[in-house]
Chain A
């Protein structure tokens, strides 16, 4: 099942930050990884991902560096900064509250 674009957009910052929580990644890797981890539920578009990455980098939630990928090509890697981790935990709490609220409404009988 593919999700509505608007639904992804609202949570994409959270998804991007959480992808980078454990390891540094480059853009294409993030899209494939997101797709893999969500069993193809999240097909994030380049037009969504790169503006988010660049905005987060500009705001110092992410830092970036050039490095050779396992494929042998040089890629722009993104890493989460301490500031980014703070934002991630805020977004996670927001999300938990939101999904909890949605669950409650849906389970109301």
Chain B
């Protein structure tokens, strides 16, 4: 059909008759139906006039089928594209939803964790950003710090973790996110025991539990309380059940 260099008159007729149908799947269906019709008609012509070649018979059939532009207008009126476009639009929408889902849970977009915390609390000012070093291996997981920020005046260090493993469908919770502790550059020990977080006046050094969410690449958020504004580094000790793995977060140079 489309392989020939030049369009035959019959093909030209079909093109014109369906040109006004803007929704592709509809247009192809109608074109196929009219093409079948044209072929039937041409075969009948050949039966009546055996001397006609196939192309001649088709050309004559097309000529007898009337003005393709006129029929095209009528067909275009009936096959309004809105329903088709609506269908297409719903597909695009579904694609976008899936994409944003992947972006949220995967690596396509940075996690909103700390940023969204700050947006929710416009009064928060970041005293200093902390950065982790290399990702660490824990069991089957690779764990790394994506972002860590010390909030001014509150002594809270907000950390966003990421965890990935070949068994991406398994949530890392429970694998190694038992009680984590910490120690900072002054030797202050941060416990993981909730009962010891408050002495009646202030927050005692304490490492909150980490909770992972998402899929594929898991994202965890955690807060360390009672961190001094001048802290230069803080070492999180991750308890794995088979030993303790340290992750050092170092203060980044501030401008």
Contacts and interface: CB of A to CB of B under 8 A. Distances in A.
Given A46-B37, A50-B71, 4 more contacts: A46-B65, A46-B66, A47-B66, A51-B74
Nearest to B72: A47
A47 B65 CA distance: 7
Contacts of A26: 36
Nearest to A51: B74
Given A46-B65, A47-B67, A28 B41 contact: yes
Contacts of A54: 30, 75, 78-79
Contact of B78 (A46, A51, A75): A51
Given A50-B75, A51-B71, A54-B79, A45 B36 contact: no
A28 B66 contact: no
A30 B240 CA distance: 78
Interface residues of B, number: 21
B11 to A, nearest CB: 16
Interface in A1-41: 26-28, 32
For chain A, give the interface size range.
10 to 19
Given A46-B65, A51-B71, A58 B36 contact: no
Interface of B: 30, 32-34, 36-37, 39-41, 43-44, 65-67, 70-71, 74-75, 77-79
A27 B37 contact: yes
Nearest to A74: B36
Nearest to A32: B44
Contacts of B44: 32
In order of increasing CB-CB distance, the 7 nearest A-B pairs are A47-B71, A51-B74, A28-B40, A47-B66, A46-B65, A28-B37, A54-B78
Nearest to B26: A54
A12 to B, nearest CB: 12
Interface of A: 26-28, 32, 45-47, 50-51, 54-55, 58, 71, 73-76
A51 B75 contact: yes
A8 to B, nearest CB: 13
Contacts of A47: 65-67, 70-71, 74
A95 B18 CA distance: 33
B71 to A, nearest CB: 4
25 contacts: A26-B36, A27-B37, A28-B40, A28-B41, A32-B44, A46-B34, A46-B37, A46-B66, A46-B71, A47-B65, A47-B70, A50-B30, A50-B33, A50-B71, A50-B74, A50-B75, A51-B74, A54-B30, A54-B78, A55-B78, A58-B78, A71-B43, A73-B39, A74-B36, A76-B36
Contacts of B78: 51, 54-55, 58
A46 B14 CA distance: 12
Contacts of B79: 54
A47 B10 CA distance: 15
A67 B41 CA distance: 18
Contacts of B75: 50-51, 54
Q: Chain A CB within 10 Å — which of B33, B41, B43 has the most?
A: B33
A51 B37 CA distance: 14
Contacts of B67: 47
Q: Chain A CB within 10 Å — which of B32, B40, B44, B77 has the most?
A: B40
Contacts of A50: 30, 33-34, 71, 74-75
